[in-house]
Amino acid sequence: RITPAGAITTFTDSAGNVDLPDGITTGPDGALWFTSSNNKRIGRITTAGAITTFTDPADTVDGPFEITAGPDGNLWFTIGFNSRIGRITTAGVITTFTDPAGNLVRPFGITAGPDGNVWFTDFRSNVVGRITPAGVITTFTGPAGDLDGLGEIALGPDGALWFTSTNTNRIGRVTDRRRHHNVRRPGRERGAPSWDHRRPGDGRVVREHQQRPDRPDRDHRPRAGSRPVTRSTRRRASALHGMSS
């Protein structure tokens, strides 16, 4: 914890159940919630520093990464090692969801959307996904070649979802056209997102509106020299790039 004046305090779990904490977010219960990526746990810490951790009895939470408070009053998180999206209630009950279409490989960033759903990125399959409070997953892709190694995602002040494309050095934006148009345009899928990719260097914007085409999975390599290699970054790299940890 760091105060606006810059005073730092750190906290440990007396039970020893926190191992490589990763994502963190404010919960709807006045506490903060975080992921413990190396031991399949989701944690809760009060503003006084009291830590509680939770596990999934079904053992489906392997490599939890980012976490966000959802519009439904629960916490939602990405699970990198077994290609799932997880939900935990403030009482600590965990449920995980898979994509029947098989488009989740290494889900990573996650945030609450303006539409009552939760949106996420997948680092390896290069899709942006949407999951409803009921756990229904839909995935979308942008223009071919523009997205590679999707990272963090955030809700912007304009009501759109903004995300990073690590391996193409781009910032992407996706909006829900249903919020702006009530008429279906010929040749366009109802409910598909509008893509807006900022191209560095020339200031141009490319806008497209399309469904995800079927395409084979690709191996994505990290860019060299981006950050120091630590135990935490090695595990994250292992999750994101499909290497054994």
Q: Give the model confidence (pLDDT) of 175-189 as tens digits.
A: 865 442 222 233 344
Assess contact for 2 and 18: CB atoms under 8 A: no
Return d(Cα 59, Cα 96) in angstroms, integer. 10
202: CB partners within 8 A, 6+ apart? none
- The continuous run of DSSP H or E covering 53 comes out as strand 51-54
pLDDT 10s digits, 50-70 = 999 999 999 999 999 999 999
pLDDT above 60 for 164? yes
Please give the average per-residue pLDDT across 99-113, as a whole number.
97
Of 198 and 163, more confident = 163
**Cβ-contact 49, 8 below 8 angstroms:** no
pLDDT surpassing 60 at residue 36? yes
